A and B are shown apart, each in its own frame.
Chain A
Amino acid sequence: MTCQEALRLLYEVIDKEANQIDSEKVREHLENCRDCMKRYEFEAMFKTFVTEKAISPTKTEQLKFKILAHLEEGEPESGGFFTNFFKNKNLIFAAAAILVLFLVSALSISQLYRHRTYVYPFEKHHLEGNPISIMENSNSLPLPQIRDYLASNLHLALSDSIAGYQMLHGGYDDIIGHKYVHLRYRNGSARVSLFFGRSADTVLPNFQKAVFAGTEYYRHVCGDCQIIYWKHGDSIAMAISEDKTVDLPAFIASVRPI
């Protein structure tokens, strides 16, 4: 075996992917070739070095607890609603949306699950041109597509960056007929979720009416979580943040009608 051949197999041998014959030939070559041996030793050392240094010690106990809690919530006896609901949602959206759904903060979550009477600001079966058909097996959508959709159907303009928050990802949801588009923004560790749909003309209890920069909105604060919804024509938008220091009214003022 030549040095060139030995070096061609370098990474496959180090990654233990070379077949037995090749590995044996390389081993023989290395016994007789100091230069190649040094290179092999170096690359093996480099791999070990990166592997050791790039792994952060992780604290996952809390996360495990959260996941286990959600597994229970995600398996209602009576069918797919919550299973679908928890699909691709993070904890805060789930928790906040439950609040919006039920708006009975005095009841514990477990009690809430037993109640099937809920309020929802989005009208049923009233978001035209289901944009999900374009993407198979996924309720996430390319951001330009969401933007176009919101502009043409709900007459709202969304930009990539709102008050320092960057648009992360978004998608289309259909929860037992309540259809809406969601978008997620982030600024450092602070996050805001936006939801858009057709208005169900529902006045939600526990929300305080207020006005900011000419936009009339309704706000509800519960613990660290704040929820705002506001109407725009016959559509309705909702913003949720788990961080009560986020200036949601200023944020939503940047969502412009077209």
Chain B
Amino acid sequence: MDSGNNKKGKFEAQALIHLDALHRTALRMTRNENEAEDLVQETFLKAYRFWDKFEEGSNCRAWLFKIMTNIFINNYRAKSRTPQVVDLQDVDDDFLFGQLSALGPAENPEQHFFAKVFDDDVKRAVEELPEDFRLVVVLSFLEGFSYQEIAEIAGLQIGTVKSRLHRGRKLLQKALWDYAVKNGFIKEAAK
């Protein structure tokens, strides 16, 4: 049995070093700074209580994200538990690429697009994804977890992770295109 200080020292060195990663994901998931802080704090307090259950040498970062995801799903997610229905029927896989290509090759529309979109619009687009999609997109894009790791963290089948990531990408691209058109960076190609 570890003495208190030894336990705390180990916890600080192995778990608390992931504070920034958990916090940035918590920010995108809760969409609120106070909530994000609470979520991260609850995660670490819970992790500390179960620290003796953590297998040394295994992936501490993934273990912490799993704890945080559970707390988020139990305590923080939006009230409505109706299934999240997303209609993507009219959005092609290459929606954004197609739209930008249609603007013509001369002005290099992709570069123009990526240079013009506001940081805040990207954050907003991520935060406005339905929670199920947002979780896998954030874990993959922001945290670089593998499909297998995301499956374990979120308690999903790998196939579900893949399809949510795919649809999440489409939703993001559609939203960013809509913002760009609305902000006037892009004049929508004549249909």
Which A residues have a C-beta under 8 Å from some C-beta of B?
A: 7, 11-12, 15-17, 38-39, 42-43, 45-47, 49-51, 53-56, 58, 60, 63-64, 66-68, 70-72, 74-75, 83, 86-91, 138, 140, 142-143, 160, 167-169, 171, 186, 189, 191
Specify which chain B residues have a CB less than 8 angstroms from the CB of A46 in the assembled complex.
96, 114, 169, 173
B46 CB → nearest A CB, Å: 7
Q: State whether B76 touches A42 (Cβ < 8 A).
A: no
Q: How far is the CA of A207 from the CA of B94 in the complex (A)?
A: 64
Residue of A nearest to B137 (CB): A50
Q: How far is the CA of A7 from the CA of B98 in the complex (A)?
A: 14
Q: State whether B23 touches A143 (Cβ < 8 A).
A: no
Residue of A nearest to B28 (CB): A54
Q: State whether B23 touches A68 (Cβ < 8 A).
A: no
Q: How far is the CA of A82 from the CA of B34 in the complex (A)?
A: 23
B81 CB → nearest A CB, Å: 8
Specify which chain A residues have a CB less than 8 angstroms from the CB of B110 in the assembled complex.
42, 45
Which B residues have a C-beta under 8 Å from some C-beta of A?
A: 4, 8, 11-12, 16, 19-20, 23-24, 27-28, 33-35, 37-38, 40-42, 44-46, 48-49, 71, 74-76, 79, 81, 93-94, 96-97, 100-101, 110, 114, 117, 119, 122-123, 126, 138, 140-142, 146-147, 162, 165-166, 169, 172-173
Residue of A nearest to B138 (CB): A54
Specify which chain B residues have a CB less than 8 angstroms from the CB of A38 in the assembled complex.
97, 101
A14 CB → nearest B CB, Å: 10
A202 CB → nearest B CB, Å: 28
Specify which chain B residues have a CB less than 8 angstroms from the CB of A86 in the assembled complex.
45
Residue of B nearest to A167 (CB): B79
Specify which chain B residues have a CB less than 8 angstroms from the CB of A58 in the assembled complex.
20, 23-24, 27
Q: How far is the CA of A241 from the CA of B114 in the complex (A)?
A: 44
Q: State whether A169 touches B97 (Cβ < 8 A).
A: no
Specify which chain A residues have a CB less than 8 angstroms from the CB of B46 in the assembled complex.
87-88
Q: State whether B142 touches A51 (Cβ < 8 A).
A: yes
Given A58-B24, A60-B20, the answer on whether A71 and B48 have CB atoms closer than 8 Å is yes
Q: State whether B146 touches A17 (Cβ < 8 A).
A: yes
Specify which chain B residues have a CB less than 8 angstroms from the CB of A191 in the assembled complex.
34
Specify which chain A residues have a CB less than 8 angstroms from the CB of B94 in the assembled complex.
39
Selected from A15, A90, A91, A189, the residue in CB contact (under 8 A) with B147 is A15
Q: State whether B141 touches A51 (Cβ < 8 A).
A: yes
Given A54-B123, A60-B23, A140-B74, the answer on whether A11 and B165 have CB atoms closer than 8 Å is yes
